Amino acid sequence: MIDIEKIVCSKLGKGSRFIPKFVFNGLRRFIHEEWINTFLNQEGEKQGAEWLCDCMKYINVRLEVSGLENLPPAGAPPCTFVSNHPLGGADGVALGSILATHYNNRVKYLVNDLLMNLHGLAPLCIPVNKTGGQSRSLPAMIKAGFEGQDHIIMFPAGLCSRLIDGEVKDLPWRKTFIQKSVETQRDVVPIHFYGENSPRFYRIARWCQRLRLKVNLAMPTLPDELFKAQGKTFRVVIGKPIAWQTFTKERTATEWAAYVREQAYAL
């Protein structure tokens, strides 16, 4: 079960004692804690692909998927799957359900460490701390993930898409997936997920940027965005694999990351 008070207290430590009870009660309603826990309770000990597919049914999100023929076969060497991140919730669940099913749970997400609180998702996760100091073990965990036999799912922007010049777009993609894919000889598969959050999400994100806040106040709204995604249909396009040998020293890793981002948005 999700207990938002325990999660906040674990992040803030002793500072959490100054937060009034009514604030936690408001947070519970805002993140739809009861709605989430109803699903978690009915799932019990289910994990991985089964859990993700059940989650898709629970939130009643439908997918129109193109390019399934571009997925390397189940017995192929592990790849790095990279996608834009327009929703911050439903897109992660959707891509996981597709890939974990296709590869019989041989996948790992590089995700926000808060998602480790979800029992059904945790075995598929390499957690990244977004709310505090980075764990000293993170580089080793990422290295081990790429050197393993599981396919890696990444959202290289690191954050949910923002409204930029009137369009919902990712921030520049970070170069880690290029560097690690070359080091471990993994082909890269670009994916484009079509979707967007509510105007409120982009307003909050914009004000955070204007005020130069270090705390991402848009992130706590993502469970509510997932709740609002119920009944919607999203389009997913899977591109052809890009051989790791493509990423030569003729360009920097950052430039190659931008190139792959362009390929994803061209799908």
pLDDT at 133 over 60: no
pLDDT at 225 over 80: yes
Mean pLDDT of 98-112: 91
Note every long-range contact of 41-44, with CB atoms under 8 Å and residues 24 or more positions apart, other chains counting: 41/1, 43/120
Cα 182 to Cα 176: distance, rounded to the nearest angstrom: 10
Q: What is the pLDDT of residue 135?
A: 57
List, for residues 75-96, the tens digit of each pLDDT value. 899 999 999 999 988 999 999 9
List, for residues 180-196, the tens digit of each pLDDT value. 999 999 999 999 999 99
Domains of the chain (ranges; CATH) run: 31-265 (3.40.1130)
Q: Give the least confident one: 104-118, 170-184, 241-255.
A: 104-118
Q: Do the beta carbons of residue 145 and residue 106 sit within 8 Å?
A: no
Q: What is the pLDDT of residue 6?
A: 82
Burial class of 48 by CB neighbour count within 10 A (0 to 12, 13 to 18, 19+): buried
Greater confidence (90 vs 24) lies with 90
The answer for residues whose C-beta is within 8 angstroms of residue 88's C-beta and 6 or more apart is 160, 197, 219, 222, 225
The amino acid at residue 146 is: F
Instruction: Quote the mean pLDDT of the chain.
Output: 89
Phi/psi at 98 (nearest 5 deg)?
-70, -50
Mean pLDDT of 14-28: 79
pTM of the model: 0.89
Q: What is the pLDDT of residue 14?
A: 72
Identify the band that residue 103 occupies on the pLDDT scale cut at 50, 70 and 90. very high
Greater confidence (7 vs 232) lies with 232
Closest CA to 172 of 89, 256, 247: 256
Q: Do the beta carbons of residue 235 and residue 43 sit within 8 Å?
A: no
Phi/psi at 148 (nearest 5 deg)?
-80, -175
Highest mean pLDDT among 78-87, 138-147, 154-163: 78-87
Cα 257 to Cα 208: distance, rounded to the nearest angstrom: 26
Cα 164 to Cα 82: distance, rounded to the nearest angstrom: 20
Q: What is the pLDDT of residue 113?
A: 74
The amino acid at residue 52 is: L
